[in-house]
């Protein structure tokens, strides 16, 4: 800039730049802006001093406060685990659900822990909320194959159903068709009987013949009235809740080929505390007896 040039209409000095005859005025920056600018410069220098900032060849400038978000997270996780392991140990000492129910803190802890263990291990078969699927029972209703008391649920989780554990819950319905134990007509008749006791329309003459078959072949497990037997894991056939579907073809298929759903045993895969937490969680899903 050779010499100062004052813009006549405004009385302001120009920068000397000119575009097509339009000149730029050299107004000073607004005072507030300059103040904010210098505050941020001072702030950033103070920040470098106290907090981690510049990267270096061997690590980074740690700052005088020696702050580390990573260390904070590690500590929080360690604290949480310590708190959990105390609660987990307490779960080991309980003998009945009422004991846990009398301790709302422990109950809440068991349900929370159980929920996450359930998501990792059980949801693939039983659904995220335990709502079940064809062949995999709903754990959130009050219909139980093997019983819904805390102890029953614990036994099921420990040893499984038709699992490879020596203490597994075990009861197998025959494949009545495949094995030839019943003829095609007898199976059709007993299907009509099952339709009748589950409150649906059926061929009355066939159902009457089927009732006789049922009494001989089926009542030992499902009960004379078809209401099932939890000691044997035999489902109630009258309640309209079906593990394998309640249409004629589903029932026919069940009787012809048998089913024999397998629930794995969890002893050895999960810890005792984890299985207790799971039992409390499943028990809390709505159908606990
Ligand atoms: C591989 C699939 C599978 C997985 C994984 C599984 N289950 Fe099961 N579960 C089943 C089947 C199948 C049955 C029903 C067996 C039968 O026909 O009696 C069952 C039955 C049950 C029952 C008994 C229900 C009743 O009505 O009596 C409970 C309780 C249960 N499961 C809990 C669990 C829990 C808790 C887990 C996770 C630790 C789990 N299951 C993981 C397949 C599975
Ligand atoms: C040895 C005991 C036993 C006998 C006998 C037996 N069942 Fe079953 N039944 C079971 C068990 C256990 C199940 C559970 C399902 C499984 O195998 O996974 C079942 C399941 C069923 C189901 C499916 C229920 C559902 O919710 O989907 C039907 C239907 C059924 N049985 C009908 C019969 C009929 C009809 C007979 C006689 C011809 C019979 N059962 C004899 C034990 C028995």
Q: What pLDDT, in 10s, does the model give residues 191-249? A: 999 999 999 999 999 999 999 999 999 999 999 999 999 999 999 999 999 999 999 99
In whole angstroms, what is the distance from residue 20 CA to residue 5 CA? 17
Q: Which ligand is nearest to the CA of 144?
A: 1
How far does the centroid of ligand 1 lie from the alpha carbon of residue 123, in Å? Answer: 10
Say how far apart CA 228 and CA 147 lie, in whole Å. 11
Cβ of 53 less than 6 Å from ligand 2: no
Residues of the chain below pLDDT 50: 1
How far is Cα 72 from Cα 196, in angstroms, rounded to an integer? 65
CA nearest neighbour of 98 among 154, 142, 149, 159: 149
183 alpha carbon – ligand 2 mean position (Å): 17
Q: If we measure between CA atoms, which residue out of 140, 151, 135 comes closest to residue 262?
A: 135
Q: What is the token pair recorded at 126? A: 């039983």
What's the token pair of residue 140?
């959130």
Nearest ligand to the CA atom of 182? 2
Q: Distance from the CA of 136 to the center of ligand 1, in angstroms?
A: 7
Q: Are 132 and 262 in contact (CB under 8 A)?
A: no
- The pLDDT value recorded for residue 187 is 98
Distance CA 147, CA 116 (A): 23
Contact of 200 with 194, CB cutoff 8 Å: no
pLDDT for res 120 = 95
Is-contact 160 169, C-beta < 8 A?
yes
Which of 262, 266, 289 lies closest to 278 in space, CA to CA? 266
91: Cβ contacts below 8 Å, ≥ 6 apart: 100, 106, 109, 110, 273, 276, 277, 280
Q: Which pLDDT does position 16 carry in this prediction?
A: 84
pLDDT recorded at residue 97: 67
> In this structure, are residues 162 and 283 in contact, taking their beta carbons and an 8 Å threshold?
no
Look at residue 287 in the predicted model and tell me its pLDDT: 65
Determine whether the shortest distance from the Cβ of 186 to ligand 2 is under 6 A.
no
What is the reported pLDDT for 2? 58
Q: Count other C-beta atoms under 10 Å from residue 115's C-beta.
A: 19
């Amino acid at each position: 800039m050779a010499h100062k040039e004052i813009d006549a209409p405004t009385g302001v000095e120009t920068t000397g730049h000119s575009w097509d005859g339009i000149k730029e005025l050299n107004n000073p920056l607004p005072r507030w802006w300059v103040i904010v600018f210098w505050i941020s410069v001072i702030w950033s220098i103070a920040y470098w001093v106290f907090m981690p900032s510049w990267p270096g060849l061997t690590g980074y400038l740690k700052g005088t406060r020696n702050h580390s978000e990573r260390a904070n997270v590690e500590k929080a996780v360690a604290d949480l685990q310590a708190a959990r392991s105390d609660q987990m140990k307490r779960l080991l000492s309980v003998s009945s659900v009422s004991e846990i129910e009398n301790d709302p803190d422990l109950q809440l802890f068991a349900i929370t822990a159980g929920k996450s263990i359930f998501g990792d291990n059980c949801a693939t078969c039983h659904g995220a909320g335990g709502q079940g699927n064809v062949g995999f029972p709903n754990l959130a209703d009050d219909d139980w194959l093997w019983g819904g008391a805390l102890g029953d649920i614990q036994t099921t989780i420990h040893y499984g159903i038709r699992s490879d554990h020596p203490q597994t819950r075990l009861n197998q319905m025959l494949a009545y068709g495949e094995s030839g134990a019943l003829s095609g007509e007898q199976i059709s008749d007993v299907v009509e009987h099952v339709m009748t006791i589950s409150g649906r329309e059926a061929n009355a003459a066939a159902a009457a013949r089927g009732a006789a078959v049922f009494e001989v072949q089926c009542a030992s497990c499902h009960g004379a009235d078809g209401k099932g037997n939890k000691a044997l894991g035999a489902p109630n056939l009258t309640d309209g809740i079906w593990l394998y579907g309640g249409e004629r073809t589903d029932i026919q298929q069940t009787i012809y080929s048998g089913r024999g759903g397998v629930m794995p045993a969890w002893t050895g895969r999960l810890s005792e505390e984890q299985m207790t937490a799971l039992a409390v969680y499943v028990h809390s899903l709505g159908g606990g007896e």
